[in-house]
Amino acid sequence: MAVAMASGSLCLRPTARAGENCLPGLRCCSLRCPPFAAPIASKIRLYSDAAITVPRAASPTTVEDGSSNETDTIPTPKVIIDQDSDPDATIVEITFGDRLGTLLDTMKSLKNLGLNVVKANVYLDSSGKHNKFAITSMSTGRKIEDPELLEAIRLTIINNLIEYHPESSSQLAMGATFGVEPPTQEVDVDIATHIEVYDDGPDRSLLIVETADYPGLLVDLVKIITDINITVQSGEFDTEGLLAKAKFHVSYRDKPIIKPLQQVLSNSLRYFLRRPTTEEASF
């Protein structure tokens, strides 16, 4: 998921207040970003009030304004949020084998978040059908800069995927809470978590984080990074099934991150991602 801003960096403040403009299930953080017309929490719907019908194993899978597929093998859903490839818009790419239609309801849901879908296209390759959207903020006409809104976009897309393709819930971390069929396997966070930092030019480094996905992960990662005074310049956030992979271009005072600070960053991320989820609530 790319997190590149029009100004070239995310404007974040490391202070945090619980319950402030948060999505359900997200840890909160205070973000010094351009204000939007309304709080995100009032705009995003994490589950649908409509009844969800589970398709029979031998029946065609109903798709969002699309076709059907009778394969028994459920493909791995993928959602990519890319802030690097387009200087003026946030690029969103959704793949679920060849089961997706035109995703008109997903585009409507994105508009309900205060976003414009300025361009949409579809292409096919060996991995399936790829739906790509270029989106901007209605209030600014520019790409999305707020990590909380970027996470709201990701969760809205996944929620719609689960609603219109209930078979996908067994392949997604959010399926454990909002899906009709929870994931059949659990991801070992210790095994799944990998963190690497490389120099990436004269003025920045590349941070790669792979870990088990959960709602709010994108916001948490950005907050951890900025809490130690590291700037997130841009990046990409990929959701692939139960796993998430983030690639952030980061810097410290407009320079690449030196080795000791790289170690601090890696240790901070590893501690946060691997700690028990009940830790804060237990004390």
Per CATH, which fold does 75-185 belong to? Alpha-Beta Plaits (3.30.70)
Q: Are 155 and 44 in contact (CB under 8 A)?
A: yes
**Number of other residues whose CB lies within 10 A of the CB of residue 123:** 9
Q: Are strands 243-251 and 231-240 parallel, antiparallel or unpaired?
A: antiparallel
Task: Output the 3-class SS for 112-177.
Answer: HCCEEEEEEEEEEECCEEEEEEEEEECCCCCCCCCHHHHHHHHHHHHHHHHHHCHHHHHHCCCHHH
Cα–Cα distances in angstroms (integers) from residue 109 to residues 35, 74, 103, 106, 156, in the given order: 20, 25, 10, 5, 7
What distance in Å separates the CA atoms of residue 213 and residue 202, rounded to the nearest whole number?
Answer: 32
Domain coordinates of the chain in residue numbers?
A: 75-185, 187-274
The chain-wide mean pLDDT, for the chain, equals: 78
Of 62, 90, 76, which Cα lies nearest the Cα of 1?
90
Summarize pLDDT for 90-106 with one digit per residue, the tens: 999 999 998 988 789 99
Alpha carbon of residue 3 to chain centroid: 10
Q: Could you check whether 75-185 and 187-274 share the same CATH topology?
A: yes
Q: Is 3.50.80.10 the CATH number for 187-274?
A: no
Q: What are phi and psi of 111, to 5 degrees?
A: -65, -35
Give the sign of the dihedral formed by CA 17, CA 21, CA 27, CA 28. negative
**pLDDT tops 60 at residue 277:** no
pLDDT for 120 equals: 92
List the beta bridge partners of residue 137.
115
Whole-number pLDDT of residue 275: 67
Question: Quick one: what percent of the chain has pLDDT higher than 90?
Answer: 58
DSSP 65-106: TS-----SSPPPPEEEEESSS-SSSEEEEEEBTB-----HHH
Q: Which amino acid is at 54?
A: V
For 40-57, how does the pLDDT look when each residue is reduced to its tens digit (9 = 90+)?
333 333 333 333 333 333
For residues 220-238, average pLDDT? 96
Give 124-164 pLDDT, tens digit per residue.
998 889 999 999 999 999 999 999 999 999 999 999 999 99
